[in-house]
Structure 1
Amino acid sequence: MSVRLYIGNLPKEEIDRQDLQAVFAAEGDAVTTKLIKDRKTGKCRGFGFLTVNNDEQADQIIEKYNGHLFKETPIKLEKALPRTKGEENEEQQAPKAVNTSSIPAPNTNKDSNRRDKGSKKSRRSGGNRETTTTAESDAIRPDPRWASELEKLKQMLAAQTTN
C-alpha cells in the first residue's frame, strides 16, 4: 500500500518536479513526487507530495530528509493527512487557509446571492436580513482598513437605489 508524504517549506519560486525528484533520487524509482504549483503564475505554492511504497520506507525517508536543504531552505516532511470528503485534488486545500483579515466584507446584494448558488448562507437566511442575531453581526465586521471605503460604497449604492 502506498503512503503519501507532505513536503512543506519549499521555496516559492519556479521549481521543476525533476529538481524535487533529484533530492529523493537515492531512494530509487519507487518514490514519486508531485509539486503543487499556482495555476496563474506557474510558481511553486510552497508544498508538494511524495509517494512511497510502505510505512517503513516512509518513516525512513522522513527521518533521513526532514530538514534537508533544498534550494537553501530546509524542507519539512511528514505523513500527509487523508483528503477530506468532497475534495477532488490537493490544490483545493490551500485556498481554504486564506487569511481573511485582509478580505473586505461579503457583498449582501440579493442579485449576487442568486448568482452564487454554492452559498449555503444565502439558503439558510432565506433573504430575511432581520433574523440575524447580534452575535452574528458582531462576528462579521469589515476590515478597519477598508471600513471608510465600504461606507462610501454603501452610500453610493443607497443613492443609486433611491433614484
Structure 2
Amino acid sequence: MSNKLYVGNLSFDTTEMDLQDTFAEAGTVSEATLMQDKFTGKSRGFGFVTMSSSEEAQKAIDLFHGKTVQGRALTVNEARPREERGGGGGGSRSFGGNRSGGQGKRY
C-alpha cells in the first residue's frame, strides 16, 4: 500500500493545517495538500495526505473514511497515480472569414 491518501468531500473551509492536524491522530503526516481552483484560489473540496508509513496510511483510512468532519462525511482511500492526459490538440484555430488578408469577396 502507498503512503499517499486521497481525501475527498472536505468542507470548503478546511485548511491544510486542519487536514494535517486531523490526520495526525493516525500517525506522522509527511505532507498535507489541498487542491485549489487555479483561478479563484478557493478549495476544490479534496486533497492529499502523505503518511510516514503504509501502516499509518491504513490506520488513517480505517479512522477517517466515512467519519464526519466539519459537517461532511470524508472519503479517504489510497491515492491512485495521476493519469496521463493527452497533449492538447483540440480543434482548429480558424476564426472564420478570409485567410488571404484581403477585404474578402467583392461583388
Q: Which of 119, 125, 145 is the equivalent residue of 2:89?
A: 119
Q: Structure 2 CA distance, aligned partners of 1:118 and 1:57? A: 38
Change (3 A) 1:39 1:63: same
More strand by share: 2
Aligned residues: CA RMSD: 3.2
1:102-117 paired onto structure 2 within 5 Å: none
More helix by share: 1
Taking structure 2 as the reference length, the TM-score comes to: 0.70
The CA deviation at 1:28 is 4.0
User: Deviations along 1:46-81, whole A, 9 cap, x unmatched?
Assistant: 110010123222221101111121210011000011
Identity of aligned residues (%): 34
> Paired residues, what number?
99
Change (3 A) 1:121 1:15: same
Contact 2:2 2:78 in 1 (8 A): no
The higher-RCO structure (CA 8 Å, 6+ apart) is 2
Q: Structure 1 CA distance, aligned partners of 2:90 and 2:78? A: 33
User: Deviations along 1:21-45, whole A, 9 cap, x unmatched?
Assistant: 1211323444431111112222110
1:8 — aligned with what? Answer: 8
1:77 — aligned with what? Answer: 76
Change (3 A) 1:119 1:63: same
Q: Name structure 1 gaps, 5 residues minimum.
A: 88-116, 123-153
Q: Name structure 2 gaps, 5 residues minimum.
A: 98-103
Change (3 A) 1:29 1:63: closer
Contact 1:24 1:31 in 2 (8 A): no
Change (3 A) 1:162 1:73: farther
